[in-house]
Structure 1
């Protein structure tokens, strides 16, 4: 019964701090400190002695070094002419598909997700290239905004994913295996998004814009040269990890160097762009690092209170099947995502959820992909869907309108959860084979 009171009190205190606009990282630290003071023996070391070791261990983690490097790589590319070049290279190959150039939203987000890792950066970069062009060609506004809102969440799934890095650090699992696990589900989810465009094309023929002018195969291949630099960067970063040539951190460093070279070749690497990319990377990295420090302290505090062990034992006594547990966690994370961003949702809950999934025998690599899919929904669900605010600034539409047109994409993400449950090998096959290959 003490654990129940502790859980209720922790939740109340946490949401009180968050509702008072206290930073997430500091809110987590405050809850951890209160938990140590109220629910641990008097013989336990002081709060400060318990706080310093986990915070230092988290902030000095070599694995976490990949995080600011991948963020910096995305920031550099965001400030180059990459967006214009991507649209020019993709458009010739998308125009013949049912749904036409709307597929550039999906393909562009898929490609940029592989060099960014951030949903917001993916949305901003691809939106900057596609929204004006698609509007000019007469595509329906609800399809432009809706497909872009959904496809931008691929930045959380396709490696290098910042959410997967945070998840891997939180539960001490291999970042490379998590990255490899995200490749096939990310491509399947992108295919589902494209299928939605195809169904729109078939069901709404009266809303189709005028067909694009025909192009010769030679012209299409010539225009594709604008995609070569970014595709080379994608294959270098992901391939170096898959073939065991580099760790995630080393691949991130290679990606930064490649992004700088790409920007220099494009002659868009100005001092202003370089400085702004560094400032953006530092600000984002510092925010995530503070959240991770608070989560590490909270995890240690939860261990002293015995709450995770008690909750895991309670779940075990209920004899829930893994599928029922996954269904319950799906609803839980969707609700939580309405109030917190994805990274905060992950680090906030891992101290409690990790023992539960291990007790239920759920593969932690598979669960990492599952949790990315459900927190992707948080990016496009009100009231705190971050992608909604970004799109509002870009399109000047109301949040309610963007939420409505993005709803079909949320439905496709739920379908992706079902697919992962039915075919878990979609996420586990590549990491399992990676374990047998070079490390």
Structure 2
């Protein structure tokens, strides 16, 4: 039997990663890890209560408490909305509407990846959906027009991750539920960091275009202001959907869950308007949404149980006290945690990173004096990094499927945007008001 919570923590980390490396489902790995912790820790239970009674009670109550959240109802609806948009004509119209506006900027249509990803992220909530949808439209088109393939792929990989940062965001919903932080405030808090990251990507494209003249074609169709004005009508459907989803939240008209329902309604109406809504499209979108929702919910339930075990066994308190005893400065603490997340991003997907680490990391962060709302934005940025971190970076595989390029080529193309994201994380850490200003001023 183990009596030291710190030793138990090390054992549980080893056990958890052993199960993951064996290919056991993430949710099962989390639950079994929690059970192992209960079995090997020295507990002082009354004689009338067996250890298995306590495990069963904790497992049942934690799963029910974790999933019995109205906020989680937004999850399947945002996923369903993204699936519908992925299969509708709205994505093509988005590209056509943006082309005339970027033709004169250095880098020209390479900025389409950034702009289209930012706009689509505001209605999808998923980085995978954003990367896949925008990539299927832009990569082939940019290749035909003679743009640098590496810069096109890199900008898509970086910009595609904005689906987690620019609201609505699936990761923010999960974090808000697990950390008991307002999802509406998280959504608003992601706006300025998201715009800052998108601007940094565009700035890099402009700089590279100035240095290397061959990344863009010399001759390209010229667009007049009349063309640009006409192109706005192609963007109107996207702007209307963004206004419907986000505007209803910010205006206080709807909660994030209700806004998700409005988003699904808007997506259905747009699909009907563009005549892309068939029974097969609806059925496939619904089935994919159900599969994704069940998978995520199972992981959240497993994380809820492990979180309860961590709290019950005093692990969180022991780890917090241990880190406090090291007398790390708050910034050094964030640096250590940031490095940990980058390493985890190499072997885990974003949702798993959040649900597996939050029970231990969040108490430490709060103890160090950081705002849990700010940490939610920081964590989303770290999850975005995991999307383009080998070997499990999901966006990398999405781009590989779309482009047909080898993974090492995609990694080289993505690396500059990976560095940019780390720099933005540093900026958000040094200037936390970037993430906190809008939530504090817009929601009282």
- TM-score after normalising by structure 2: 0.96
What does residue range 277-426 of structure 1 map to in structure 2 within 5 Å?
A: 277-426=285-434
CA contact (8 A) 1:36 1:304 kept: no
User: How many equivalent residue pairs?
Assistant: 436
- Structure-1 residue corresponding to 2:253: 245
The worse-fitting range, judged by mean Cα deviation, of 103-112 and 198-207 is: 198-207
- Structure-2 residue corresponding to 1:173: 181
Which whole-Å deviations, capped at 9, do the CAs of 1:374-407 have from their partners, x for residues lacking one? Answer: 1111111111111111111111111111111100
2:268 aligns with one of 255, 260, 265: 260
2:141 aligns with one of 112, 129, 133: 133
Q: Do structure 1's residue 159 and structure 2's residue 167 form an aligned pair?
A: yes
Which whole-Å deviations, capped at 9, do the CAs of 1:119-149 have from their partners, x for residues lacking one? Answer: 1100010001101110000001101111101
Q: Do structure 1's residue 275 and structure 2's residue 278 form an aligned pair?
A: no
- Structure-2 residue corresponding to 1:79: 87
Aligned with 2:66: secondary structure? helix
- Structure-2 residue corresponding to 1:20: 22
CA contact (8 A) 1:113 1:159 kept: yes
| C-alpha displacement of 1:60 | 2.2
| C-alpha displacement of 1:235 | 1.2
| C-alpha displacement of 1:38 | 1.7
- TM-score after normalising by structure 1: 0.98
| Whole-Å separation in 2 of the counterparts to 1:395 and 1:221 | 32
| Whole-Å separation in 2 of the counterparts to 1:430 and 1:354 | 22
| C-alpha displacement of 1:432 | 0.8
Q: Do structure 1's residue 64 and structure 2's residue 72 form an aligned pair?
A: yes
- Structure-2 residue corresponding to 1:149: 157
| Whole-Å separation in 2 of the counterparts to 1:252 and 1:62 | 12
Q: Do structure 1's residue 111 and structure 2's residue 111 form an aligned pair?
A: no
| C-alpha displacement of 1:210 | 2.4
Which whole-Å deviations, capped at 9, do the CAs of 1:191-225 have from their partners, x for residues lacking one? Answer: 00111110111110133312322222112111221
1:41 aligns with one of 41, 44, 65: 44
| C-alpha displacement of 1:433 | 1.2
CA contact (8 A) 1:83 1:128 kept: no
Dislocated runs of 4+, deviation >4 Å: none
- Structure-1 residue corresponding to 2:205: 197
| Whole-Å separation in 2 of the counterparts to 1:409 and 1:219 | 32
Aligned with 1:46: secondary structure? helix
| C-alpha displacement of 1:46 | 2.4
- Structure-1 residue corresponding to 2:4: 2
Q: Do structure 1's residue 210 and structure 2's residue 218 form an aligned pair?
A: yes
Aligned with 1:353: secondary structure? helix
| Whole-Å separation in 2 of the counterparts to 1:298 and 1:418 | 30
The worse-fitting range, judged by mean Cα deviation, of 222-231 and 246-255 is: 222-231
Unaligned runs of 5+ in 1: none
CA contact (8 A) 2:103 2:223 kept: no
| C-alpha displacement of 1:42 | 3.7
Unaligned runs of 5+ in 2: none
